[in-house]
Amino acid sequence: MGFGGDLKYSHDALLKLQDWELRLLETVKKFMVMRVKSDKEYASTLQNLCNQVDKESACQLDYISNVSKSWLLVVQQTEQLSKIMKTHAEDLNSGPLHRLTMMIKDKQQVKKSFVGVHQQIEAEMYKVTKTELEKLKSSYRQLIKEVNSAKEKYKEAVAKGKIDLILCIYLFPFHTAIKSSYRQLIKEVNSAKEKYKEAVAKGDY
């Protein structure tokens, strides 16, 4: 399969895992949003019910009895339950639900970065394994052609007895360069001698 193939399948597997986790988190978030909404509505309904009962009971309770005490206790506990449900809904909304929303955003950003880095790596790999390799192959083929051409010319020169002439032609530029460098060196030495003589004559040395 090869290293590149293994990377491809690993990348696909990681993407599937990230997608699955994001879908699960979105499902949990949806459930929590509905839970907050239903708890708030339930708390509001209980509170409205208690308010309605208080209005109706105010004019009906002419005296205190065990029944009236029990009824008042039921109303009080219902009102207390309404407050508890409302508090729990607010805590759920500001706590776990908020953190879950931030977690989903972070995971989405991580996935985006992961995909971007993978695409960059793939582009670099393609450049190295395809583009650069093709350039090297092309350069290699060109060099092979030049070498073969030089061999053919050399064989032809040997066959015609012109090898000495070819060597002279190739060595002539180097010989000329050496002579030029030698002349320049002689000039610099003579110039140094003249400057030395002038310094001695002036008493500076």
Please give the full DSSP string across 32-67, using - where no structure is assigned: HHHHHHHHHHHHHHHHHHHHHHHHHHHTT--S--HH
Residues 8, 107: Cα–Cα separation, whole Å: 21
Residues 110, 114: Cα–Cα separation, whole Å: 6
pLDDT at 182: 47
Q: How many CB atoms lie within 10 A of CB 84?
A: 13
**Are residues 89 and 40 in contact, defined by beta-carbon separation less than 8 angstroms?**
yes
Higher pLDDT residue, 8 or 67? Answer: 67
* Domain residue extents for the chain: 3-118, 162-205
CA dihedral over 72, 74, 76, 79, signed as positive or negative = negative
Domain 3-118: give its CATH architecture.
Up-down Bundle (1.20)
Buried b (16+ CB within 10 A) or exposed e, 53-76: beeeeeeeeeeeeeeeeeeeeebe
**Are residues 93 and 36 in contact, defined by beta-carbon separation less than 8 angstroms?**
yes
The tens digit of pLDDT for each residue in 78-93 reads: 899 999 999 999 999 9
The tens digit of pLDDT for each residue in 139-190 reads: 777 777 777 777 677 667 667 655 455 555 554 454 455 455 545 655 655 5
